[in-house]
Amino acid sequence: MKVRRYFAANMRTALELVRQAQGPDVLILSNRKVDGGVELLTAVGEADAELIEKFTPKSARERRDDTAPDELATVPDRRPTPRAVVVPPPAPVAAAPVLPDGALWTRQETIEQMQRELGALKNLLEHQLSGLAWHDYSQRSPLGARLLRALTGYGIAPRLARTIVAELGPTADYDEAWRQAIAALRQRISCLADPVLRHGGHYALCGPTGVGKTTLASKLAGRYALARGSHTVALVSTDEQRLGAHQQLKTFGRLVGITVRSARSFEALPEILADLHDRELVLIDMPGFAPADPGFRHSLATLYGLPTRVDTYLVMSASTDHQSLARIVGAAEGLALAGCCVTKIDEAATLGPALSAVAESRLPVAYLSHGQQVPDDVETASPAALLEQFLTMGKASPLPVDSAFIEQAFAL
Ligand SMILES: Nc1nc2c(ncn2[C@@H]2O[C@H](COP(=O)(O)OP(=O)(O)OP(=O)(O)O)[C@@H](O)[C@H]2O)c(=O)[nH]1
Ligand SMILES: [Mg+2]
């Protein structure tokens, strides 16, 4: 599709000019009065939705929602042709780039190629600038740069590492600065003291697929049953769509004598919870959702609408990278989560990404899972134990932090 500009003394003359130059099958993108006449912008060629959207005025877009889709006029072919008045075109009002053949806009291959190349150039420049910024920062603050390098090497998300380093008090001593940085991290982490096993109640475990929600629900139910008797506990599976999901809980329930109920839909939950009113602990095992899936928020919203109070925990795997964790936590933003649980600590190379997600979201941590054994591999979380494990893992196998990585991290 190509865009051209026409100018004439009045609308009729302008339309005739267009018809003579481009024939009847031309799309009028816009018309407006300008000094000394009328200006028309036209398009010919295959329809381009993006272009049409760009030139459609807001009011027309709103009207279009209620009316037929084709609101843009084409030039009528059988208009009486008035005497053409050729008026010299005025200087363009806005400095629009004019393409070699006089068109203002096109989707030609060469233009797209130029756009791609400009994009690549922009990336290159950003990369170079972040390199310069990192170099400059390293010169001005060698201690800060060393700390940032160390924190990212321990797996702390770059943005959090920068925030922490920026907040440090004045010191020239690296060990003191490191101690302050860990204290600042510690301050951002809060934990819940064994809420499920201590108090009972209704809990739901939600989160992405495969992070260990069902396993954690089984561990907590098993632990509670060991302490208070299996008749005090019930598990509710809500993952009816997925073959085997309910079976996993059912098999476990049969083994340890715990009731397992299956909700065909979230709407069935109130009735099931009413049936289980005599249980001290009810754990609802939620289906796994990708963070971008609207079902994630919908399922949580359903839980909040229940007549019974249900505390919801977000389950995150420690072996997930910090960008994905940030997306997961972001998807749950604004929802009244009671806290989170961190699983698969035994599989993770570092606790940095999980701690970064916890510190940035300020979600209190309830339980930690570090293996597949039910009900053994679960423990209640404490900031001191989390920090200690974070430091031990970071020291044992710091992540490689090469210059390109740190420069990129510094640009974020
Ligand atoms: N290494 C390790 N494996 C775990 C841990 N927790 C769960 N798993 C394993 O991870 C796999 C998935 O666990 P599930 O409990 O089914 O995960 P889920 O979140 O319920 O998965 P979906 O229902 O599919 O979303 C299983 O093989 C578990 O044994 C853990 O802490 N460490
Ligand atoms: Mg599951």
213 lines ligand 1 (CB under 6 A): yes
Q: For residues 108 and 100, is the Cβ–Cβ distance under 8 A? A: no
For ligand 1, is residue 209 a contact (CB within 6 Å)? yes
Structure token pair of residue 202: 């209704």
Asked if the model's pLDDT at residue 386 lies above 80, the reply is yes
Of the listed ranges 128-142, 265-279, 282-296, 338-352, the one predicted with least confidence: 128-142
Stated as kind and residue range, the H or E segment containing 283 is strand 281-285
Is 241 close to ligand 1, i.e. is its CB under 6 Å away? no
Helix, strand or coil for residue 278? coil
Say yes or no: CB of residue 173 within 6 Å of ligand 1. no
For residue 102, count CB atoms less than 10 angstroms from its CB and return exposed for 0-12, middle for 13-18, buried for 19 or more. Answer: exposed
Contact status, residue 378 vs residue 283, Cβ threshold 8 Å: no
Percent pLDDT > 70 in the chain is 81
Residue 175 has pLDDT above 60, yes or no: yes
pLDDT band at residue 309, thresholds of 50, 70 and 90? very high
CATH 3.40.50.300 intervals, the chain: 195-381
Give me ligand 1 centre to Cα 210, in Å.
5
Which residue puts its alpha carbon closest to atom 1 of ligand 1?
371
What's the pLDDT tens digit per position in 55-103? Answer: 665 655 555 554 443 433 344 444 444 344 343 444 444 455 555 566 6
Containing 333, the helix (H) or strand (E) segment is: none
Those residues with Cβ within 8 angstroms of residue 112's Cβ, 6 or more apart along the chain or in another chain: none
Quick one: pLDDT at residue 27?
81
Alpha-carbon distance of 332 to 361, in angstroms, equals 10
Residue 162, token pair as written in the block? 């920068």
Q: Comparing 13 with 124, which gets the higher pLDDT?
A: 13
Of 298, 134, 130, 120, the C-alpha closest to 206 is 298
What are the φ and ψ backbone dihedral angles of 317, each rounded to 5 degrees?
-90, 135
Confidence of residue 359 (pLDDT cuts 50, 70, 90): very high
The CATH fold of domain 195-381: Rossmann fold (3.40.50)
Q: For residue range 178-198, what is the model confidence (pLDDT) as tens digits?
A: 999 999 999 999 999 999 999
Ramachandran category for residue 334: left, alpha or beta (phi over 0 → left; psi -120 to 50 → alpha): left
